[in-house]
A and B are shown apart, each in its own frame.
Chain A
Amino acid sequence: MSFPDPIQVFKTEAAELLEQIETGLLDLTYDLTNKDQIDAVFRGLHTLKGSGAMFGFDALAAFTHHCETAFDRVRKGEVTATEELISVVLEARDHMRALVENPNAEHDAVSTRLLADLHRAVEALDKAGAAPAKASGPKETLWRIRFGLPRNAMANGTNPLGLLDELRDLGPCKIRADLSDIPALDALTPSDLYISWHVEVTTAQPKSMIEDVFIFVMDEMQIEITAIDAGKAAAPAPAPAPQKAAAPAAAAPVVEAPKPVVQETASVPAVRDTSAAAASAADPKQNRAAESVRVPAERLDELMDRVGELVIAQSRLRQLAGRNADIQLRAVSEDIERLSGELRDTMMVLRMVPVATLFGRFRRLVHDLARETGKVIELITEGETTEVDKTVIERLADPLVHLVRNSVDHGLETPEMRRAAGKQEAGKVILSARQASGEVIITIKDDGRGIDRDRVRAKAESSGLIQPNAALTDQEIFQLIFQPGFSTAQTVTNLSGRGVGMDVVKRTIDALRGTIEVASFPGEGSEISLRIPLTLAIIEGLLVRVGGGRYVIPLSAVEECLELSLEEDLRSRGRSFISLRDSLVPFIRLRDLFHTGTKPDPYQKVVVISTGSERVGLVVDQIIGDHQTVIKSMSKLHHDVATFSGATILGDGSVALILDVVHLVAAGQQQEAQMRIAG
């Protein structure tokens, strides 16, 4: 078995820790006293430092150490966090990322500056005075612990005296050994352990700390931990009298009363079960960690590939079984069909990740944008648990960044303008996700000024995108903002207004086989909805034949199929347009495109496909029917072939290529443009 590269492992881990730190810090900006977040940030910094040092990222470890120290003081309540401290540590976090990614680059100048900032922030904390002292010291509790170790514990290296020492470290202890199980000398194995213990310890530490003492033997031992006297005030050791009253059986000398002890031991396993259950319920976080397994993404892809192969092999089996009269073979084939279908569905679910991972990073973006633009922004996220295929999530990140930036820059007004318009000073940006019939719908909504139709129109006219006075619906006007080179921002800012971005958004969403809808109301804001298929790994396709080859057209793009009449075929020679309900639709003869040598079928068919408002017809020899297919990516050798987006294997084992709709529509449009020029 081979091990993954430790440096890579560390980098992956560091990226997650940095995200955890950032989330924690951003949450703290809302509530500076949030104990959970303070702990989360501290833990993140602590682990990052530790692992960094372990894997040779010394600069990172040294730098992180200072932030950790600062947060340790916050955590212990010595000082309270301030916005300044959070800001400095946020900036420091970015620097840590640089230290992780480029450990060998020159970082000293930045490190020194940030540490100076940090130092100032911490000094300011000290001046502001320590956090209010806690009302009183933590409450101490008297715990009664009875435990018996497995017989072979000592042989396996556990030293019971060490455990007792650890209990003593928690607080004052009363320890008694129960020797009743020690056998006669001739039956005694020297390395075995026959003694069990009764311990009463008074400590302010939680029960989990007592359980921690036994962590390595917990699973095999008998243990019962009960709080006898909760909330006991600190200092003086409990007087013996009340203890006796509370636990007469335990306090009585064992030798004098061996019987109750035996009974107690017998009852221990049952009691232990409930206490274990309570302990695990009390710590859901730890539970979750134990239940999830981290798997490299490429292994999932690999598994998906295998499942795809299995589905294909299964459909071959079905064909064979169909031709065969053997009833048993058919039964097995049906079973396998059902199982492979279920396996594929399960596999799909495995690849799904909640959009929370995607939305999470926008909090930082909005935080930074608010600083840059001077606008007050409230980011609201909804439906974070909605799950989407991980590949889709990855590819959605950039378009969403553009859209959120756009909302903030073009949509939201400055606080003064908002006040003048009678709105709240803080502009809202709402990111939401939900699932609807095999699609996920992600909307970016703001309550800003809305899209200015007239300006969009004027800009489109002046740049020749539309004819002056062309009759366009609102939706058509809004879609213009996704044209390449389109921008209406009056000034180019750092964020947007460069005219790059929105067309990239459109292209990415097209590539995901998704659509964009825009709604906008003047003065009330705008809403952009992205509808994306839940998975990229499987598509519903229309299987067609061109010459001897078979091809798949994504069904979502298919508008209609019709026959290319002989008359139209002849008339359209050289022009390649069909008239479809009074509009001309360009078409592409796939036979020509693929240089098919065979004789064409007598009746050619046209499959009309579209992306949004643009249509193109594809002329094929035969339409075979619909076909659900697992997409396989093309080899590296073919990655620059634009006409196809992938391939699939058919039931008989032959390969069918999947047509790239976006590219073909673009090619059709080009054809149309050329015809317009030709007049």
Chain B
Amino acid sequence: MSARILTVDDSASIRLTTRVALSNAGYAVSEAVNGQEGMDKAQAEQFDLIVTDLNMPIMDGLTMIESLRKIPSQTGIPIIFLTTESDADLKARAKAAGATGWLTKPFDPENLVKIVKKVLGR
């Protein structure tokens, strides 16, 4: 069975890009529009990997990562966050919150797939 990936982003275009790129690479993709929805979906359905934006309404990505890592069933799940090159501080905070890796925006779909593959391992 193909790995299941959750994409959490308030931007419809980024969600679409992520979904298209990852579906084409053979993954099953679900979407959530903010951190709260991401939390809910992640607990309802165990994912193999989560890709999340950091700046989102209702619940931001940092809070979501931190909260997920406190839930036993969600530790160990790779979480990749989207960030901009300029925000080194945010990157460090996301790592501290428990993120696994990051992808710099604006991103190349090929690169997203490459990073997902890297983090998921063989």
Contact = CB atoms under 8 A, between A and B. Distances in A.
Interface of A: 1, 3, 6, 9-10, 13, 46-47, 50-51, 53-55, 152, 154-159, 161-162, 165-166, 191, 215-216, 219-220, 289-290, 293-294
Nearest to A53: B109
B98 A50 contact: no
Given A47-B108, A157-B99, 14 more contacts: A6-B14, A50-B108, A50-B111, A51-B106, A51-B108, A54-B17, A156-B76, A156-B79, A157-B100, A159-B119, A161-B121, A162-B120, A166-B118, A220-B95
B85 A290 contact: yes
Contacts of A3: 11, 55
B4 interface: no
A191 B106 CA distance: 34
A316 to B, nearest CB: 36
A4 B118 CA distance: 30
Given A3-B11, A156-B98, A162 B109 contact: no
A158 B78 contact: yes
20 contacts: A3-B55, A6-B11, A6-B106, A50-B108, A50-B109, A53-B109, A54-B106, A54-B108, A54-B109, A155-B75, A156-B99, A157-B78, A158-B119, A166-B118, A191-B75, A219-B92, A219-B95, A289-B85, A290-B88, A293-B86
The 6 closest A-B pairs by CB, nearest first: A162-B121, A157-B100, A157-B78, A50-B108, A216-B101, A155-B75
Contact of A13 (B76, B98, B106, B111): B106
Contacts of B86: 293-294
Given A54-B108, A293-B86, A158 B118 contact: no
A44 B69 CA distance: 39
Contacts of A13: 106
A155 B121 contact: no
Given A50-B108, A54-B108, A162-B119, A157 B76 contact: yes
B120 A158 contact: no
A143 B118 CA distance: 21
A587 B120 CA distance: 80
B77 interface: yes
A9 B77 CA distance: 32
A50 B75 CA distance: 33
Contacts of B79: 156-157
B16 to A, nearest CB: 9
A166 B118 CA distance: 8
Contacts of A215: 101
A6 B75 contact: no
A261 to B, nearest CB: 26
Contact of A157 (B17, B111, B119): B119
Contact of A216 (B77, B98, B100): B100
A228 B100 CA distance: 31
Interface of B: 11, 13-14, 17, 49, 55, 69, 75-79, 85-86, 88, 92, 95, 98-102, 106-111, 118-122
Contacts of A50: 108-111
Given A156-B99, A165-B121, A165-B122, A1 B69 contact: no
Contacts of A157: 49, 76-79, 98-101, 119
Contacts of B100: 156-158, 216
B95 A10 contact: no
B95 A162 contact: no
Contacts of A165: 121-122
A9 B107 CA distance: 12
Given A155-B76, A290-B85, A290-B88, A216 B102 contact: yes
A159 B79 CA distance: 12
B122 A162 contact: yes
Contacts of A289: 85
A10 B106 contact: yes
A159 B120 CA distance: 8
Contacts of A293: 86
A3 B106 CA distance: 12
Contacts of B75: 155-156, 191
A219 B89 CA distance: 13
B61 to A, nearest CB: 13
A136 to B, nearest CB: 30
B91 to A, nearest CB: 9
Contact of B119 (A46, A55, A216, A294): A216
Nearest to B56: A1
A45 to B, nearest CB: 12
A434 B15 CA distance: 49
A152 B70 CA distance: 12
Given A158-B100, A159-B78, A191-B75, A55 B55 contact: no
Contacts of A47: 108
Contacts of A55: 13
Contacts of B49: 157
B74 to A, nearest CB: 10
A289 B122 CA distance: 32
Contacts of B88: 290
A471 to B, nearest CB: 62
A363 to B, nearest CB: 28
A155 B66 CA distance: 12
A616 B102 CA distance: 64
A155 B82 CA distance: 20
Contacts of A10: 106
Contacts of B95: 219-220
Contacts of A162: 118-122
A6 to B, nearest CB: 5
A152 B107 CA distance: 28
Given A156-B98, A216-B100, A191 B76 contact: yes
